[in-house]
Structure 1
Amino acid sequence: MDTCMHIAEKKELRDQIFQFKLENDKSLRILTNQLQHKLSEMDEKLQGNYKPNDTIEFANLKQKYQLLQGSYIHQKDELEILKNATMNVLQELFELKQLKSINQDLNMSNVQGKLQLLDQKTNSLTINQNARSQDFLALFNNTRVMENKINLMGNFITQILSHEIIQNATTATHFNIFNDLKNRVYEIETKQNATFADVISKIISLEGKVSNNSKRVAVTACVGSTQTFSDAVVRFSTVRSEIGINNIATFMYSGKFVCEIPGLYYISAHIRTSSGDYGFHVKKNNDYIAYSITDAGLSDSTNPISAVVALQIKDTLYVETSATIYSTYSCISIVKVK
Structure 2
Amino acid sequence: MPLREIINTTVECKLDEKLKEDIVSSQVFGNVNNKFDSLQNQMNEFKQDFATLRKEMEELKKLTNTVSIENKDIAEKLEGLNANVNSRVALSACGASYTSISPKTTVTFSNIITSEGITNQYLTSFKSSGVFVCEVPGLYHISVVIMSPANGAYLKIYKNNNKLIRLYIDSYYDDGHRQEYHSNAAIVVTELQKDDTIDIKPGGNKDIYIHHTYSCLTILKVK
Alignment check: 8 A CA contact 1:281 1:321 kept: yes
Partner of 2:165: 291
Alignment partner of 1:196 out of 48, 68, 87? 68
> Equivalents in 1 of 2:29, 2:213: separation in Å?
113
Alignment check: 8 A CA contact 1:294 1:301 kept: no
Shift of 1:174: 2.5
Q: Which runs of 4+ in 1 moved over 4 A?
A: 151-159
Partner of 1:306: 187
Aligned alpha-carbon RMSD (Å): 2.9
1:297/1:162 Cα in 2 relative to 1: closer, same or farther (>3 Å)? same
Shift of 1:222: 1.0
Partner of 2:110: 237
> Equivalents in 1 of 2:33, 2:62: separation in Å?
42
> Equivalents in 2 of 1:229, 1:187: separation in Å?
66
The secondary structure found in structure 1 opposite 2:214 is: coil
> Equivalents in 2 of 1:296, 1:312: separation in Å?
34
Query: Cα deviations across residues 123-155 of structure 1 (Å, max 9, x unaligned)?
Result: xxxxxxxxxxxxxxxxxxxxxxxxx9xx96887
Shift of 1:235: 0.7
Alignment check: 8 A CA contact 1:279 1:291 kept: no
Partner of 2:140: 265
> Equivalents in 2 of 1:169, 1:278: separation in Å?
96
Are 1:175 and 2:60 matched, yes or no?
no
Shift of 1:233: 0.5
Q: Counting helix residues as a fraction of each chain, which structure ranks higher?
A: 1
> Equivalents in 2 of 1:301, 1:325: separation in Å?
10
**TM-score scaled by structure 2?**
0.70
Partner of 2:127: 252
Alignment check: 8 A CA contact 2:88 2:221 kept: yes
The secondary structure found in structure 2 opposite 1:275 is: coil
The secondary structure found in structure 2 opposite 1:294 is: strand
Shift of 1:308: 2.6
> Aligned AA for 2:219?
I
Shift of 1:254: 0.8
5 Å-filtered alignment, 1:1-338, equals 159-230=31-102, 231-245=104-118, 246-247=120-121, 248-288=123-163, 290-299=164-173, 300-322=181-203, 323-338=208-223
Alignment check: 8 A CA contact 2:84 2:137 kept: yes
Shift of 1:269: 0.7
Percent identity of equivalent pairs: 28
**Larger relative CO (CA 8 A, sep 6+): 1 or 2?**
2
**TM-score scaled by structure 1?**
0.48
> Equivalents in 2 of 1:206, 1:170: separation in Å?
52
Q: Based on CA coordinates, which of the two structures has the bigger radius of gyration?
A: 1
Query: Cα deviations across residues 146-188 of structure 1 (Å, max 9, x unaligned)?
Result: xx9xx96887655544432222222222332233333333333
Shift of 1:261: 3.1
Shift of 1:205: 1.8
Number of matched pairs: 189
Q: Note the residue ranges of structure 1 that are not aligned, 5 or more in a row.
A: 1-147
Shift of 1:252: 1.3
> Equivalents in 1 of 2:192, 2:27: separation in Å?
88
> Aligned AA for 1:297?
S
> Equivalents in 2 of 1:159, 1:278: separation in Å?
111
1:157/1:280 Cα in 2 relative to 1: closer, same or farther (>3 Å)? farther
Query: Cα deviations across residues 12-42 of structure 1 (Å, max 9, x unaligned)?
Result: xxxxxxxxxxxxxxxxxxxxxxxxxxxxxxx
Shift of 1:275: 2.9
Alignment check: 8 A CA contact 2:95 2:215 kept: yes
> Equivalents in 2 of 1:303, 1:179: separation in Å?
79
Alignment check: 8 A CA contact 1:273 1:324 kept: yes
The secondary structure found in structure 1 opposite 2:210 is: coil
> Equivalents in 1 of 2:109, 2:171: separation in Å?
25
Q: Counting strand residues as a fraction of each chain, which structure ranks higher?
A: 2
